[in-house]
Structure 1
Amino acid sequence: MKILLIGEYSRLHNSLKEGLESLGIQVTLAGFRDDFKNYPVDIVFKERYNTGLPLFFKKSIYKLTGIDVTSRNIEKQFNQKKKLLTGFDCVQLINENPFNTVPKTEKRLLEYIFSHNKKVFLLSCGTDYISVKYAFNKQFRYSIYTPYEAGKISKSVFWHVLKWQTPPLKTLHKFVFKNIAGVIASDLDYHIPLQNHKQYLGMIPNPINVDKLPFQNTAVTDKIVIFHGINSRNFYKKGNDIFKEALAIIKSKYAQHVDIIEVENLPYSQYIESYNRAHIILDQVYAYDQGYNALEAMAKGKVVFTGAETEWLTHYHLAPNTIAINALPNATHIADKIEWLIENPEQLQIIGKNARAFIEKEHHYTRIAKRYLQHWQD
């Protein structure tokens, strides 16, 4: 069986590939390296003209002609590599817009993928038409739409989300769903909006390669180390401003008891090592379930502040504050939870061990790979 995975977010497809390969499946990963994170891919696509002077000329050309030179360049790369993207038993798209071109171009590229491979599936693991619509209709208690609605994010910065509510992207969405064999969600943030959709095949949790993430569960010998990793492009979307407010509260009360580490825009290989001595990881606020960074930190035995909402607790039959800490969009609430851990440091090791066990049970990459195979084959 030959599998083609198109696109990469947060190492999801890399871990799935590793799981499939451990089962003897031939897998090819094509796409971008996810910006500064620089994930490995087999067939590399590059986004050009997106910074500096080339970006200025790109915008000028678009205003004068309506031509997006980045999309044109990606299509040129695609045509040079398209023979490598054919003849697969199963293809999985990371998103409805996996080549990140303008909709008209994207449709041409995807038409080729649909017509030159046996079956194509879609993964819902980031912003897409259905999840964004659900959030913008305020069907979540809070979501990535919350900071935008509060005026924290400009329209231009938030365009990568807003675009999913435009007519061209809606048309692309309909085209994709007309041609796929089904759609799979990676966690509850995408599962909830897809429930009852006729093409929804169900949720398969994110695969985590636990063999590459040794358990650490660092003992507290002096100060409690708190780690806050920032992606500047998603600063407000991830709730980093709220984490900073919470940390200011902690600094004012426990400056002698904590060591706070903040990093920004690190490549994945550096990021995954940068929090090894941390006890607490501040991941993201506007989520119901854990994203990739949170899951990998949990695998290492860290106490992670992330999405761990009631729906997640119910789905996995868990008690609050035993596996991960739910990071509500409230700095005082987050500070109170950090304070609880400072005052009860024994909880750090208890929760860390529970987190590792949870990842091994629910997210082990080979078990998850088997579930994907079952869905694809069925």
Structure 2
Amino acid sequence: MKILLVGEYSRLHSSLKEGLVELGHNVTIVSSGDGMKKFKTDINYNSKIKSSLLLNKLNNLSIRFFKTDFIKIENAYRFKKLLPQFKGFDVVQLINEDALFIEPKTQIKFLKQLISQNKKLFVLCCGDDYTVVKYYLKEELKYSILTPYLNDKSLKHRFVFSLKYTTEPFKKLHDFLKTNSLGTIASDIDYHIPMQNEINYLGLIANPINIKKIPYNPLNINGKINIFLGINTHSSIKKGISFFEKALQIIQDKYPEKVSIKITENLPYNEYIKIYNETHILLDQVYGYDQGYNALEAMAKGKVVFTGAEQEWLDYYNLKENTVAINALPNVDYLVEKLEWLILNPDKILEISKGARRFIEREHNYISCAKLYLEKWNK
């Protein structure tokens, strides 16, 4: 098959491509590189404005005072020039309802042409979109990434990216894709739950992880237990990082001779990965029901990860007990209790480390996941 994957989030499409290529398919990824992460892509239409610190600041002022986003205008110009190349694909898959990151009205125009030039269009639900955000706003889950905003509406400016999907232009984009695509696939439980009653929902396929590229490193605990919290300030509120910070302070005061705690902010990747590789316990997020890419890659390496691992996730994967990850909750006392349990029982760290790798190999193997995508597309 000839397959076009449009957009990228956290290497999802890249890992999927690696699996599909091994199965003998011809795959092209076109994306803007997922912003500052700059993931490798086959065809890149990354904004030059976004790459420039000065131009980016000027664009932010333009958005603030004139409601004009020149990054979106540039993205539209660059993608339009590329459109004639995207012909004759058996499958086109969008990483998100806003895969092109341009104004919805223009995006619909480009998508009409993309659909007319190819056979099948599918959409991924692996982040915020209209259905997910509307569902979270109903507060039917005990928590979600919108919980901080729902508890404190003064934080609205920190949730602009999520809330944009509820506006009329994005609702029209959602309706267009619902009508003109062959369906939507979710990547984890956090998106599976909101999507379940949608008539065009095709089901969940777990995030593909290329286990060949991520070796398992057996943990060695001879001295202190290394705990790492790598903070991205742009997403810290959504991830509930403050709960981790408070819990770590208590643990540091109580067990200074047993733990080595590293907390960083917006660290360059090379420095981040050095600390990451040496850690035993990684703190990821508290507002998830399932694991995102950062947590999954850490689990593949054998780290003990505090992340989403709710009962709904256990049920879906038929796990009778959780020996895979630590289910993190927005509760400082609970987090302290779980950290303390691991510190006083280091054999549990080794047990969960092995269980995490086995789980990734079983449920997130990039070849197996690629086969599941092929099944959905062919149906």
The question of a shared fold, defined as TM-score above 0.5 by the shorter chain, is answered with: yes
| 1:217–1:279 Cα contact (<8 Å) kept | no
Residue 24 of structure 1 aligns with an amino acid whose one-letter code is G
Cα deviation, residue 20, structure 1: 0.6
Select between 357-366 and 148-157 the one with higher mean Cα deviation.
148-157
What is the CA deviation profile of residues 89-148 of structure 1, one whole-angstrom value per residue up to 9, with x for unaligned ones? 101100001111121122122222212111010000000000111101101110011111
With normalisation by structure 2, the TM-score equals 0.94
Select between 50-59 and 117-126 the one with higher mean Cα deviation.
50-59
With normalisation by structure 1, the TM-score equals 0.95
2:300 alignment counterpart: 299
> 5 Å matches for 1:334-353?
334-353=335-354
Cα deviation, residue 49, structure 1: 3.9
Q: Distance in 2 between matches of 1:10 and 1:305?
A: 19
What is the RMSD of the two structures over their aligned residues, measured on CA atoms?
Answer: 1.9
Residue 111 of structure 2 aligns with an amino acid whose one-letter code is L
1:46 alignment counterpart: 46
Secondary structure at the aligned position of 1:98 is classed as coil
1:21 alignment counterpart: 21
1:5 alignment counterpart: 5
Cα deviation, residue 43, structure 1: 0.8
Residue 101 of structure 1 aligns with an amino acid whose one-letter code is I
Residue 244 of structure 1 aligns with an amino acid whose one-letter code is E
2:37 alignment counterpart: 37
| 1:39–1:268 Cα contact (<8 Å) kept | no
| 2:16–2:369 Cα contact (<8 Å) kept | yes
Secondary structure at the aligned position of 2:212 is classed as helix
Q: Distance in 2 between matches of 1:62 and 1:151?
A: 24
Select between 114-123 and 313-322 the one with higher mean Cα deviation.
313-322
Query: Aligned pair in 2 of structure 1 residues 326, 126: CA closer, same or farther (>3 Å)?
Result: same
Query: Aligned pair in 2 of structure 1 residues 312, 85: CA closer, same or farther (>3 Å)?
Result: same
Query: Aligned pair in 2 of structure 1 residues 13, 72: CA closer, same or farther (>3 Å)?
Result: same
Query: Aligned pair in 2 of structure 1 residues 300, 52: CA closer, same or farther (>3 Å)?
Result: closer
Cα deviation, residue 32, structure 1: 1.6
Q: Distance in 2 between matches of 1:174 and 1:300?
A: 40
1:147 alignment counterpart: 148
Q: Distance in 1 between matches of 2:36 and 2:16?
A: 21
Cα deviation, residue 317, structure 1: 2.0
2:190 alignment counterpart: 189
Secondary structure at the aligned position of 1:158 is classed as helix
| 2:232–2:265 Cα contact (<8 Å) kept | yes
What is the CA deviation profile of residues 264-316 of structure 1, one whole-angstrom value per residue up to 9, with x for unaligned ones? 33465664554111111101111101111111111111111000001011111
Contiguous gaps of at least 5 residues in structure 2: none
1:177 alignment counterpart: 178
Q: Distance in 2 between matches of 1:97 and 1:206?
A: 19
Cα deviation, residue 46, structure 1: 1.6
1:289 alignment counterpart: 290
Q: Distance in 2 between matches of 1:213 and 1:153?
A: 41
1:96 alignment counterpart: 97
1:218 alignment counterpart: 219
1:105 alignment counterpart: 106
Secondary structure at the aligned position of 2:278 is classed as coil
Query: Aligned pair in 2 of structure 1 residues 267, 114: CA closer, same or farther (>3 Å)?
Result: farther
Q: Distance in 2 between matches of 1:268 and 1:130?
A: 33
Quick check: 1:134 aligned with 2:153? no
1:354 alignment counterpart: 355
Residue 99 of structure 1 aligns with an amino acid whose one-letter code is L
| 1:37–1:266 Cα contact (<8 Å) kept | no
Query: Aligned pair in 2 of structure 1 residues 5, 256: CA closer, same or farther (>3 Å)?
Result: same
| 1:189–1:287 Cα contact (<8 Å) kept | yes
Q: Distance in 1 between matches of 2:265 and 2:116?
A: 42
| 1:278–1:302 Cα contact (<8 Å) kept | yes
Q: Distance in 1 between matches of 2:237 and 2:62?
A: 31
Residue 91 of structure 2 aligns with an amino acid whose one-letter code is C
Quick check: 1:263 aligned with 2:264? yes
Residue 47 of structure 2 aligns with an amino acid whose one-letter code is E
Quick check: 1:231 aligned with 2:229? no
Identical positions, percent: 50
Secondary structure at the aligned position of 1:95 is classed as coil
Secondary structure at the aligned position of 2:202 is classed as strand
Residue 41 of structure 2 aligns with an amino acid whose one-letter code is V
Residue 254 of structure 2 aligns with an amino acid whose one-letter code is K
| 2:148–2:155 Cα contact (<8 Å) kept | no
| 1:38–1:268 Cα contact (<8 Å) kept | no
> 5 Å matches for 1:156-167?
156-167=157-168
Cα deviation, residue 179, structure 1: 0.9
Select between 96-105 and 179-188 the one with higher mean Cα deviation.
96-105
Select between 281-290 and 268-277 the one with higher mean Cα deviation.
268-277
Select between 105-114 and 219-228 the one with higher mean Cα deviation.
105-114
Cα deviation, residue 67, structure 1: 4.5
Cα deviation, residue 40, structure 1: 0.7
Q: Distance in 2 between matches of 1:198 and 1:330?
A: 36
